[in-house]
């Protein structure tokens, strides 16, 4: 079944994570995505390993480059440069994350491309914007630090998230903005310049934590696994291993107290409301921990789940993937061809009439150069 973006041509001039994640989502939804890569080394992440897949390509590169075709090009070479220029002139969407201003000398910057292709949606992804922060290096770790995300993550010291989450969120924001610009083009007939940056994406993703600063003048700090505004809502030790308990309202708290055989806690002035519990979270944690240590995590998980209390063990990633399989969610094993079954972590959305599809694994560098040049007439 055709994807909802079938017929859309995307010239992907991005590399590493934020841009490729965005363009992979577009490709999953049916767009034809041509990944333009340096002819000598390709995308940096091709070599970011181990681990490597059975085809010699890093699993990092595989994670964000499925459903794409690879066009190898050296922009300093006149023939290759003209090929890329012709590709972007035909594209509906261009995605790039070059340093600000560096594409001007190749006539691939937005202002130049838009004169030749006024319908193009041209998305520029940067670390700190194209203005005063244009020269700052746009690495996810630096943005996690600069945005304040690390200042609220961890227990003993500021800690980065275990995946480049700012890049991923930026890729999602870029995809949303591109789709919005495409929708607007349907009425105006014109393209536009979409700009997305990692710092802005990180601050947006801080949601309630950023709002506490803006709305109440309260700057949050490290709280480990605790929630700044809800209690009990954190990781608790049990008789053998930790368990997560996430109580979202007073009714759930009363049920929790009953399961823990301390119903009086629900009427205790220190714990009666969520606001009370947040103010006395240390006493509450001490009481809950004292009860949980008398039984293993699996026993508490069974009791609390049966009572309707949100809880669960802390899985490793393999266990998380297995849970998704058991629930019929992602990842989905997909036979891209008879000899090449692979497993993908699919997007967490489903379209009933035009679902995402997984047509090919990430390409080898330049594997599609000849085909792309011929199909799009790039040497014409």
**Secondary structure class of 73 (helix, strand, coil):** strand
* pLDDT level of residue 64 (50, 70, 90 thresholds): very high
φ, ψ of residue 34 to 5 degrees: the values are -105, 110
Degrees to nearest 5, angle at CA 205 with 204 and 209: 90
What predicted TM-score, i.e. pTM, was given to this entire model? 0.93
- Helices 369-376 and 78-90, packing angle to 10 deg: 60
What are the tokens at 337?
A: 């061809």
pLDDT at residue 132, as a whole number: 94
pLDDT value at 247 more than 80: yes
pLDDT at residue 305, as a whole number: 96
The catalytic position among 55, 167, 268, 298 is: 167
Tens of pLDDT, residue by residue over 103-127, are: 999 999 999 999 999 999 999 999 9
- Ranking 106-120, 171-185, 327-341 by mean pLDDT, the lowest is 327-341
Euclidean distance between CA atoms 215 and 231, whole angstroms:
21
Note whether 351 and 357 are within 8 A (CB): no
- Ranking 9-18, 206-215, 331-340, 370-379 by mean pLDDT, the lowest is 331-340
Degrees to nearest 5, angle at CA 67 with 376 and 318: 165
Known active-site residue 316: no
* pLDDT level of residue 6 (50, 70, 90 thresholds): very high
Q: Domains in the chain and their CATH numbers?
A: 9-205+329-376 (3.40.50.10540), 233-318 (3.30.1540.10)
* pLDDT level of residue 189 (50, 70, 90 thresholds): very high
Could you tell me which residue, 173 or 336, shows the higher pLDDT?
Answer: 173
In the block, tokens 């199909």 appear at: 375
pLDDT at residue 340, as a whole number: 59
pLDDT value at 16 more than 70: yes
């Amino acid at each position: 079944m055709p994807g909802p973006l079938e017929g859309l041509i995307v010239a992907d001039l991005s590399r590493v994570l934020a841009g490729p994640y965005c363009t992979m989502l577009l490709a999953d939804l049916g767009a034809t995505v041509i990944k333009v890569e340096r002819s000598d080394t390709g995308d940096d992440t091709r070599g970011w390993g181990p681990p490597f897949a059975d085809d010699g390509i890093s699993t990092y590169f595989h994670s964000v480059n499925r459903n794409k075709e690879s066009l190898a090009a050296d922009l300093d070479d006149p023939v290759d440069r003209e090929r890329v220029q012709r590709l972007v002139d035909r594209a509906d969407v261009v995605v790039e994350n070059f340093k600000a201003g560096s594409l001007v000398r190749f006539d691939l910057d937005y202002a130049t491309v838009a004169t030749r292709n006024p319908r193009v949606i041209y998305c520029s992804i940067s670390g700190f914007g194209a203005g005063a922060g244009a020269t700052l290096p746009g690495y996810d770790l630096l943005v996690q630090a600069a945005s304040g995300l690390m200042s609220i993550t961890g227990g003993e010291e500021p800690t980065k998230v275990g995946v480049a989450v700012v890049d991923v969120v930026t890729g999602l924001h870029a995809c949303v903005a591109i789709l919005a610009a495409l929708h607007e083009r349907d009425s105006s007939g014109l393209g536009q310049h979409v700009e997305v940056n990692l710092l802005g994406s990180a601050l947006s993703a801080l949601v309630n934590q950023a709002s506490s600063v803006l709305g109440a003048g309260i700057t949050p700090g490290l709280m480990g696994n605790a929630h700044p505004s809800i209690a009990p809502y954190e990781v608790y030790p049990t008789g053998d291993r930790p368990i997560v308990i996430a109580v979202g309202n007073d009714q759930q708290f009363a049920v929790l107290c009953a399961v823990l055989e301390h119903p009086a806690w629900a009427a205790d002035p220190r714990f009666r409301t969520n606001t009370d519990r947040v103010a006395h979270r240390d006493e509450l944690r001490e009481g809950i921990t004292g009860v949980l240590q008398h039984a293993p995590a699996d026993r508490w998980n069974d009791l609390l789940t049966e009572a309707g209390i949100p809880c669960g063990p802390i899985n490793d990633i393999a266990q998380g993937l297995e849970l998704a399989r058991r629930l019929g969610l992602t990842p989905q094993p997909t036979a891209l061809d008879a000899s090449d079954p692979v497993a993908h972590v699919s997007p967490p959305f489903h379209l009933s009439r035009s679902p995402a599809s997984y047509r090919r694994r990430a390409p080898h560098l330049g594997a599609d150069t000849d085909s792309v040049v011929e199909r799009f007439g790039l040497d014409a």
